[in-house]
Structure 1
Amino acid sequence: MDTHQSEARRPHTPTRRAFLTASAGTAAAVAAPLISHPAVAAGRLAPTGTAGPGRPVTPQPPDAQLRDLLRELDQGRIAATVNRLVGFGTRHTLSSQDDPARGIGAARDWIYAQLRQYAAASGGRMTVELQSFVQEPAPRIPTPTRITNVVATLRGDTAPNRVYVVTGHYDSRVTDVMDATSDAPGADDDASGVAAVLEMARVMATRRTEATIVFAAVAGEEQGLYGSTFLAKQLKAAGVDVQGMFSNDIVGASTAHDGTPPDPQTVRLFVEGVPTSETPAEAALRQSVGGENDGPSRQLARFVREVASNDDTGMTVRVIWRRDRYLRGSDHIPFLQQGYPAGRFTEPRENFAHQHQDTRVENGVQFGDLPQFCDFAYITRVARVNTAALWSLAQAPGTPQDVKIVTSTLTDDTTLRWRRGTEPDLAGYEVVWRETTDADWTHVIDVGDVTSTTIGLSKDNVALGVRAVDRAGHRSPAAAPQPST
């Protein structure tokens, strides 16, 4: 489609001269609001002293409905879910599928019943399914094994084909990854993540969202990310527009119980740089134009920091510019492999002495991934971070598509083009920018309901993005432009 709006629809956009004239007057004003903002003082947004067009970026405040949601997340329910999952003894992927009291089958059926109960209050908007498949023999899978994801889908009202996914994995393990019979309580890894997902599903089931949210308890993670791989491939094969995915894996404790100080107000969010799914040629192009820090997953992380690092969640999101930890991998990786933006939430510091260890007592010290090593208030705050991110994503317009930066001529101006979204409450667009050495967006320029704009800022010197805004002030994640002639 034509990327230019007609003159009749195009609102007044300040000229290059106006931008350049204004920049001198705003130079002093830019630094002060950024530094004085509470989120900046807490290290949640990076200040900059660089002058330029636009106004300082400020965090997006939660709307009234989101504040209600955050208050409804129940620590007692989260604790009860963790203890109930631990009560199944083991949830190893190779454990019993049909024992009503012990094993992964019993855990599966209990999770399914809980989500069905929550869906009953949704007025038909939430549906729940058992997504099963047979995994043929593979590493850590010695015989054909049925693996089942429990998936609850809360259908959006106006943009149902735009989807956001959140997962926790309900399987567990001990030291020997092939031991399917020993007790494997898996309280932190990952009953904590499942408890957060279930509690989010409960409180959001009664709300109407514009986009669709998928809440999934996946299996087979410890054996090789099998459940999440199947889920991601199914969504891709169906052509589903997944614009964001979060894995909650090991989110149960604010302290490692190893003598180091606790960090109860921080959750890590791991996100990759150059997308896993890009071809070598695409990756080379991204790096050649300095876009290795501007892939979709990192834009998603910037969005999460803006909407979820605040007093309402009680948390700071510490973004780690890596796909995951060394020697480890979680359920966001299969989504990255399918080309979807995704990240992994995890606690600030893991205790490897208890994780995956057999339940035992040695010299008076108890080992094992047990509930007493979890901090249920911390899990609740992690659930608030996820809820703030998911709600803000699902109520905002989608991330702008086909964003291009014109590179056909040498100029000190920057021309950007994009495709207009279809949301009925779309109000317009904003251009965001930052110094290439800054982690987060620092400036925003309102450009109106257009699909092309030229600003008095050199594309050679800064990183740029385009984000959508609706009439209620909800903003999408930014999309970085690709070069275009």
Structure 2
Amino acid sequence: MPSDESHGPVPTKPTRRTFLSAATVTAAAAVAAPLAADPARAGGHGADDGPGRPVRPQSPDRELRRLLAEVDQRRIEAIVRRLAAFGTRHTLSSQDDPERGIGAARDWIHQQLQSYVAGSGGRLTVELQSYIQQPASRIPVPTRITNVVATLRGTTSPDRVYVITGHYDSRCTDVMDFTSDAPGADDDASGVAVLMELARVMSTRPMEATVVFAAVAGEEQNLYGSTYLAQQYKAAGTDIQGMFSNDIVGSSRADDGTRDPKSVRLFAEGVPTSETPGQASTRQSVGGENDSSSRQLARFVSDVAENSATGMGVRVVYRRDRYLRGSDHIAFLREGWPAGRFTEPNEDFAHQHQDVRVVDGKQFGDLPEFCDFGYITRVARVNGAVLWSLAQGPGTPKRATIVTTNLTNDTELRWERGTEPDLAGYEVLWRETTAPEWTHAIEVGDVTTTTVNLSKDNVFFGIRAVDRDGHRSPVAFPQPGS
């Protein structure tokens, strides 16, 4: 697993010096002290490295380490076992049986999340978000779909929102069989356990931005619950700056018996490249094929979550999701928000979506016995590190622009200043166009425009915000403009 300082060798590049406008230099000096307080900023750069310092991971602060230490494996196991004990949580199963079916699971999740409200200082609220889904794909009759949504309101930037989901519905091999047992321990009681345990430990702490913990329904039928949740946020004009689905995070075991207990996959969608109509003959593609907001969010995850406090590595996969399948993050991608899906590194298909049965003396089915509760706990810590770092840091810069209306070997960048009260300034990041990760960061201070003596034709640029405690935002990839 990479250490806090490992980002690999930085490619050698021609010597250049950074040119900043007079306003930038003045502002940079004003915030030099708080920015320099970050240990990762020490040392400067070599003569052949190009402008800026090498990019290094963001180390967990003391409070984050305490938070992650509170994530309790015993509680996670208890949640998975209790959800599996409802027999089936199929979307079409009973809504009013107190012991079996999706209604019983819904009420239990709501009750548990509600029990965390008292310790939140009034910041946590819990609601049942319901609607009637009319007959559609895998829904033969009008059916009530209910999400259980716990919202931890931010203290200083409450309008900036981050969402984590797991789906509490389950299924058999026959997706329309709503009477047979479908314990759904791995798929997806494991993901629900992650969000519930994080809601418990995070609700006791003030968070600067708002974090939503949502147990959604209807995923196995066609992402109905998450689609409704995303649509409600869209209609309300919610500023969602990151979303993660935790779906099948219960085991590191593959169907051939191999294990990878210290790794979790994160699926992150890219974007297509397009040309401005009528200008294809005069202007080359601006790039950005690997720089969607979801890819920048994935880079942020690796930056803050691969460390000793989580005990995990993150394998980012440059795809929307796996073949033939899709999870609840897709509902948020459809609305234009950055989103990704956490899932285990391998899959044991013999124990997924299978009716509970015994073959040759061996029991099959998505049962708690096939879960690795230590693994789920580590996945929860990855999510916790990411959500804490997002919510306690500044928001992703908005309206980031790279000026492309003049011919020059310098690069002019602009963006909109954030509103966080502890905002210290900004960094310009750059990398070679063939590099998968950002390699260099240039501190530019509390400004909204800067000029860098590097050609926009040769490298990619990004912009991120930094607060007084050294927390950094995800990177904004600038769009061409004037």
Kept in 2: contact 1:147–1:227 (CA 8 A): yes
SS of equivalent to 1:198? helix
Partner of 1:393: 390
Is residue 153 of structure 2 the alignment partner of residue 136 of structure 1? no
Q: 1:69 aligns with which of 67, 82, 86?
A: 67
SS of equivalent to 2:115? helix
CA distance, structure 2, for counterparts of residue 373 and residue 287 of structure 1: 52
Partner of 2:316: 319
Q: Percent identity?
A: 72
Is residue 317 of structure 2 the alignment partner of residue 297 of structure 1? no
Q: What aligned pairs does 1:65-464 form with structure 2 within 5 A after superposition?
A: 65-259=63-257, 261-274=258-271, 288-464=285-461
What is the TM-score when the length of structure 1 is the normalising length?
0.89
Structure 1, residues 301-345: CA drift from partner, whole Å, max 9, x if none? 000000001111000010000000011100000100001100000
Residue 95 of structure 1 deviates from its aligned partner by: 0.1
CA distance, structure 2, for counterparts of residue 250 and residue 281 of structure 1: 41
Structure 1, residues 334-393: CA drift from partner, whole Å, max 9, x if none? 100001100000000111111001100111222100111100000000000000000000
Kept in 2: contact 1:5–1:452 (CA 8 A): no
CA distance, structure 2, for counterparts of residue 105 and residue 170 of structure 1: 11
CA distance, structure 1, for counterparts of residue 99 and residue 306 of structure 2: 40
CA distance, structure 1, for counterparts of residue 186 and residue 206 of structure 2: 31
Q: Aligned AA for 2:323?
A: Y
Q: Aligned AA for 2:193?
A: A
Q: Aligned AA for 1:80?
A: A
Partner of 1:57: 55
Residue 274 of structure 1 deviates from its aligned partner by: 0.8
Kept in 1: contact 2:24–2:450 (CA 8 A): no
Answer with 222-231 or 288-297: which moved more. Answer: 288-297
Residue 412 of structure 1 deviates from its aligned partner by: 1.3
Kept in 2: contact 1:360–1:366 (CA 8 A): yes
SS of equivalent to 1:118? coil
CA distance, structure 2, for counterparts of residue 116 and residue 334 of structure 1: 26
CA distance, structure 2, for counterparts of residue 174 and residue 236 of structure 1: 32
Structure 1, residues 32-64: CA drift from partner, whole Å, max 9, x if none? xxxxxxxxxxxxxxxxxxx31111111001111
Q: 1:10 aligns with which of 27, 33, 44?
A: 27
Kept in 2: contact 1:209–1:394 (CA 8 A): yes
Kept in 2: contact 1:5–1:451 (CA 8 A): no
CA distance, structure 2, for counterparts of residue 132 and residue 426 of structure 1: 38
Compute the RMSD of aligned alpha carbons: 2.1
What is the TM-score when the length of structure 2 is the normalising length?
0.89
Kept in 2: contact 1:404–1:417 (CA 8 A): yes
Q: Aligned AA for 2:118?
A: A
SS of equivalent to 1:90? coil
Q: Aligned AA for 1:139?
A: S
Cα distance 1:181–1:438, how it changes in 2: closer, same or farther (>3 A)?
Answer: same
SS of equivalent to 1:161? strand
Q: Aligned AA for 1:135?
A: Q
Answer with 409-418 or 137-146: which moved more. Answer: 409-418
Residue 258 of structure 1 deviates from its aligned partner by: 2.1
SS of equivalent to 2:192? helix
Structure 1, residues 95-122: CA drift from partner, whole Å, max 9, x if none? 0000000000000000000000012210
CA distance, structure 2, for counterparts of residue 279 and residue 461 of structure 1: 19
Kept in 1: contact 2:153–2:211 (CA 8 A): yes
Structure 1, residues 159-208: CA drift from partner, whole Å, max 9, x if none? 00000000000000001000000000000000000000000000001000
CA distance, structure 2, for counterparts of residue 127 and residue 236 of structure 1: 20
Partner of 1:26: 46
Runs of 5+ in structure 1 lacking a partner?
14-23, 29-50
Runs of 5+ in structure 2 lacking a partner?
1-20, 31-43
Residue 288 of structure 1 deviates from its aligned partner by: 2.2
Kept in 2: contact 1:232–1:338 (CA 8 A): yes
SS of equivalent to 1:83? helix
Kept in 2: contact 1:5–1:450 (CA 8 A): no
SS of equivalent to 1:26? coil
